[in-house]
Amino acid sequence: MVVVRWKSLLQPGWLALTLVVFGFAVTCYTVLAPWQFERHEDRKAQNDAVSTSFTEQPRPLGEVLPDGRPPGPDTEWRRVVVEGTYLPEHEVVARLRTVQGQPAFEVLTPLRTTSGRIVLIDRGYLRPDNGDVPPYAAPPGGTVRVEARVRGDETDPQHRDAFADASTQGKLHAYTIDSRTVSRASGLDISPGYLVLTEGQPGVLGALPLPTLEAGPYFSYALQWVAFGSMAIIGWAYFTVRELKPGGALSEERQGAPRRKSVAEMLAEDDAAEEAAREAERAERAADEGSAEGAPRGKTSESTVGGGQSHTDASRS
């Protein structure tokens, strides 16, 4: 019968390993997996909103977003109709954008509606010309009626304002599409959020493509993090039981026994044994060579002695 002594689990090394394993598992369960589940839900909500916008008829902006109400999950991507006048003198270019995997600029132009409300219109994208904004058409003058999709403001973590310098040819540039940034730069009272023009609308440049309706890998990523956390705990339990058995590193029978050698120590001992064997082989080879060199000298002396004896015998004769 296996006697398990749980007090052996209080060894410092095993406590440290336990802390690391359970810390990793808790992080998987409470941070990493929920993060991926949340991304999956966000993508699903976006896909549902885009799909719904294909079948719904455009509605007046005032019905979808009453004055002062920011876009939310229930209004994002909804199609709206706006009537008003463009304000190109307050135009801002959004830089460092990516459209269909390629760098782009997006042109943001405020529009004053017939009711007096000011909204920000994303007129579409432009491809850079040697890194600069290429020439593009100004928005039409006078009153226009446009159809667009509702989008929420982006947020710049660094809270950078729009700027203009020699690198922008004196035109205002911004790092995000944010009605608040354009409002500060222009001094206009712009409603929260912005509107993206659809294909064929007055003032549109390169119409922005809609996002692909794919769920993405987020749900599978979340399940993977759950699996990683579970495998860490299962592995810890397996090795704990194995090491608590007689002869294991945590059993009391092994407390006074010599420590088991690590793989590195065993490899070092093997290298030392091989080196000692090579040294012995070299010493034996050297001894053999010395014996070989001494053998001819003995034979020469023998011949000399034999020759001397022959000469003496000849004299006597």
**Quick one: CA dihedral 98, 102, 103, 107, positive or negative?**
negative
How confident is the model at residue 310, as a pLDDT? Answer: 45
Cβ contact 52:64 at 8 Å:
no
Q: What angle do CA 111, 115, 120 make, to 5 degrees?
A: 20
Supply 309's token pair: 């004896």
Task: Answer whether residue 241 shows pLDDT above 70.
Answer: yes
Quick check: 210 pLDDT over 90? no
Q: Hey, which of 189-198, 280-289, 305-314 has the most confident mean pLDDT?
A: 189-198
Q: At which residue do the structure tokens 């022959």 appear? A: 310
- The residue among 257 and 149 whose pLDDT is bigger is 149
Q: Which one has a higher pLDDT value, 12 or 153?
A: 153
Q: Round to whole Å and give the CA distance between 20 and 239.
A: 14
218 Cβ contact partners less than 8 Å away, ≥ 6 residues apart: 36, 37, 39, 40, 43
Predicted confidence at residue 172, as pLDDT, reads 95
Cα gap 164→182, rounded to integer Å:
13
Kindly report, residue by residue over 124-158, the tens digit of the pLDDT. 999 999 989 999 999 999 999 999 999 999 999 99
Determine the average pLDDT of the residues in 14-40. 92
Report the alpha-carbon distance of residue 222 to residue 212 in Å, rounded.
Answer: 21
Q: How far apart are the first and last CA of the chain?
A: 102
- Look at residue 2 and tell me whether its pLDDT is greater than 90: no
Choose among 202, 170, 191: nearest CA to 113.
191
Task: Give residue 293's pLDDT.
Answer: 65
- What number is the average pLDDT over the span 160-179? 92
d(CA 119, CA 98): 23
Q: Indicate the average pLDDT of the chain.
A: 84
Q: Which residues contact 53 (CB under 8 A, 6 or more apart)?
A: 77, 78, 79, 149
